[in-house]
Amino acid sequence: MDMDVTVAQVEGWATELDELAERIAPRFQRVEARRRVGAFLRGLLSSAERKNGWQLAEQAGEASPDGMQRLLYQARWDADRVRDDLRGYVVEHLGALGSETSTSRCDLVVLMDQAPEPIPTPNASDRSN
Q: Which of 10-19, 66-75, 120-129 has the lowest mean pLDDT?
A: 120-129
Q: What confidence score (pLDDT) does residue 91 get?
A: 83
Q: What confidence score (pLDDT) does residue 127 get?
A: 47
Which residues, other chains included, contact 78 with Cβ-Cβ below 8 Å and sequence gap of 6+? Answer: 27
Q: What is the spatial distance between Cα 108 and Cα 94, in angstroms, rounded to a whole number? A: 10
Residue 129 pLDDT level (bands cut at 50, 70, 90):
very low
| Bridge partner residues of 77 (DSSP) | 28
How does the average pLDDT of the chain come out, rounded? 79
Q: What is the spatial distance between Cα 37 and Cα 21, in angstroms, rounded to a whole number? A: 6
DSSP character at residue 126: G
Q: What confidence score (pLDDT) does residue 57 get?
A: 92
Beta strands in the chain (DSSP E): none
Q: What confidence score (pLDDT) does residue 46 get?
A: 87
Q: Where are the domains of the chain?
A: 7-111
Identity of residue 70: R
Q: Is the pLDDT of residue 27 over 90?
A: yes
Q: Is the pLDDT of residue 66 over 90?
A: yes
Instruction: Name the pTM for this structure.
Output: 0.64
